[in-house]
Structure 1
Amino acid sequence: MRAEHIKKRLQEKATEIGIDKIGFTSADPFLALRERLIESQEKGYASGFEEPDIEKRVNPELTFPQAKSIIAIALAYPSRLIDAPVSEQGGYRGIFARASWGEDYHIILKQKLQQLENYLKELVPHVRVQSMVDTGVLSDRAVAERAGIGWSGKNTAIITEEFGSWVYLGEMITDIYLPSDEPILDQCGDCNRCIDVCPTGALVQPGQLDAQSCIAFLTQTKGFLPEQYRKKLGNRLYGCDTCQTVCPKNRRLHFDHHEQMKPEPEWVKPLLKPLLNMSNRQFKERFGKMSGSWRGKKPIQRNAIIALAHFKDESAIPLLTELLQRDPRPVIRGTSAWALVQIGGDHVEQILRDARSNEDDAEVVSEIDAGLNILLD
């Protein structure tokens, strides 16, 4: 079967199984990406979640010998929360970023890629393939850009002409030749809205992200959140959508045709205080199917404490006091101390002094002392 015919059949199959976009590119090294990754590494911008070996990220043959082509796919996800619950005094809520709405997108994309893989093996029984979603060594965005899925926006997201940047990406490497698609020209023009509104200035220049200061990354860390970012977190529990929501290419776009991706409003915009008493089992039962749960409950609970401080929720003082006094995790105790100071109140100074007399963790003591200094200033 000719390569052009195989490609056409794959395009038809992709439409049949609900893949929103499919593109094809060669498995040649991503030379331009190498330079960007080296610069990012040298400047300390990398998140640490990605593959550390730059050569593996830019040369598909190091992962998949005799690689000839890469098939890129994109699935559009919802951008609006229908019937969203609202925060109320004493009942404030946090928010998960849109990429964590519905079922974990890794699972959804892997299912679609598996279907496509099975079909390709029917067409070409001897074919070898390897699929990747997000956690693979290749850069999903670099593959999607070269395969014509969309262009790489100034916010570093892939922006498609049909779905904006509200798309999940995945790819499949193969050892057969398939004709490549043409990349899409950059359409950001002179717009800099994403750069201008980034809460932490993490978009240091068009197309370059300092992941270490990006809220989407910071919400996933497990340690103490650096103090300079805490007040910028707002009520975000996982991820950040700011650079996408302001993008003109996303205006009025909303796609909910994938049933698995439809969000449960109470899950993606949950009440904050109940989060803080959840057991591991309760957390997994409630949030385990969401991609935002992959780091466990501690980062989410730490972020919920910061969100309560953001709202200055005085009704949370008893709960935060209990966490400061009894929680076995230093990050939760120390963040609770910080949050109590931000909320304020007549008894906060005494709460901190009582906690300090029983605290033996240096980082928590430092948080308490810093809070007492603010209260006494």
Structure 2
Amino acid sequence: MNIIQFQQNLIDYAASIGIDKIGFTSVSPFHELKNRLIRQQELGYASGFEESNIEKRVHPKMLLEESSSIISIAIAYPSKMKDAPQSVKGARRGIFARASWGIDYHTVLREKLALLELYILTHIPDAKLRSMVDTGELSDRAVAERAGIGWSAKNCSIITPEFGSYVYLGEMITSIPFAPSEQMEEQCGDCRLCLDVCPTGALIQGGQLNAQRCIAFITQTKTMVPDEFRTKIGNRIYGCDTCQTVCPKNKGKANLHQESFKPDPELVKPLLLPLLKMTNRTFKETYGHMSGAWRGKNPIQRNAIIALAHFKEQEAVPTLIDLMQNDARPVIRGTAAWAIGKINSKDGLLALKEAEQHEQVEEVLEEIRKGLEYYTIEN
């Protein structure tokens, strides 16, 4: 078989099934990435969600011994939402980051990669293949950069000329010796908007992120949110888009063409109070198809409480008092107590004083005392 012709046929097929970009690279080790990953671990900047074995992340042949090349794919997702509902007093809303709009991208990209695998195996039955999306060992961004999908930007995203940084990435290690694509030159230049506006200073320098300070990471944790980040989260209930929305390279990139990722406004910008009353079953039925649901309802509900405190939503106080008094989860009880203090209603003060007498968990008691301190400060 003529590999050059087959490679072009594969590119054409990828476009026909809705893959927005495809590129190819070798299976040479990612030596530069290895140094960065080691440094990230030494500094304590890693999120903990990554593959822990650095060697597997930088040596593709450890994942597929017969490998000769890697295919990188990108699918664009929307940056704009039509008919977005307004967040108003008495009906406050949170927001899911754009990367959680529509169907879970892991599902969509895996389906596309599975179709590519089938196409390849139909023409080259003895090909060895291994695909992955996000949770695999390889760094999606490192592969995409080397495969010419886009350049690695200061905000730690891959930026494409066509779709900006609003792209999902996946890859396939193959035993087929595809010709490598040409890499793109970095085009951020002197711009540092993303670094300057990051709410928590998580972007240490161009291309270096302290994930422990990144709101996108913090909103996915399951523990109490550290004090310094609570006022920074605002009404974000999953993820953060700030470093993308300020990027000049994303200006005008609406990316509305992928049906799978078109958002339901009521789901991606949901009313906060109903979220707090959802059972596990209702949450899964409502949000289970979205990538933002992968950690379950607990972090989302905790973040919704923080958002209500951000708005100082008085109508939320009865619900927050009920959570503080009756919820079985210490993180929810504690966050509710803190939020009651931030909102600063008379009913809240009485409820906090009562809760202080009955709460047994020290972590929650600490939050109750923080809530009480707000009354001292403001009154």
Name the TM-score, length of structure 2 as normaliser: 0.98
Offset, 1:94? 0.2
Partner of 1:9: 9
Partner of 2:351: 351
Partner of 1:116: 116
Partner of 1:87: 87
Partner of 1:305: 305
Write the letter of the residue equivalent to 1:205: Q
Partner of 1:128: 128
Tell me if structure 1 keeps the 8 A contact 2:102–2:262.
yes
Inter-partner Cα distance in structure 2 for 1:343 and 1:246: 30
Inter-partner Cα distance in structure 1 for 2:268 and 2:374: 34
Partner of 2:269: 269
Runs (4+) off by over 6 Å: none
Q: Secondary structure at the match of 1:131?
A: strand
Inter-partner Cα distance in structure 1 for 2:308 and 2:54: 40
Write the letter of the residue equivalent to 1:272: L
Partner of 2:48: 48
Name the TM-score, length of structure 1 as normaliser: 0.99
Tell me if structure 2 keeps the 8 A contact 1:6–1:178.
no
**How many residues are treated as equivalent by the alignment?**
377
Superposed, 1:1-377 pairs within 5 Å as 1-377=1-377
Offset, 1:15? 1.0
Tell me if structure 1 keeps the 8 A contact 2:341–2:373.
no
Offset, 1:257? 1.5
Inter-partner Cα distance in structure 2 for 1:324 and 1:45: 33
Inter-partner Cα distance in structure 2 for 1:162 and 1:230: 35
Write the letter of the residue equivalent to 1:264: D
Inter-partner Cα distance in structure 2 for 1:34 and 1:2: 35
Write the letter of the residue equivalent to 1:113: L
Inter-partner Cα distance in structure 1 for 2:10 and 2:184: 20
Identity %: 59
- What per-residue deviation string (whole Å, max 9, x for no partner) do you get for residues 166-185 of structure 1? 10000000112110001100
Offset, 1:45? 0.3
Q: Secondary structure at the match of 1:357?
A: helix
Offset, 1:259? 1.1
Structure 2 segments unaligned to the other structure (5+ residues): none
Tell me if structure 1 keeps the 8 A contact 2:342–2:374.
no
Inter-partner Cα distance in structure 2 for 1:275 and 1:374: 25
- What per-residue deviation string (whole Å, max 9, x for no partner) do you get for residues 211-242 of structure 1? 00000000000010001000000000100000
Write the letter of the residue equivalent to 1:140: D
- What per-residue deviation string (whole Å, max 9, x for no partner) do you get for residues 254-276 of structure 1? 11212111100000000000000
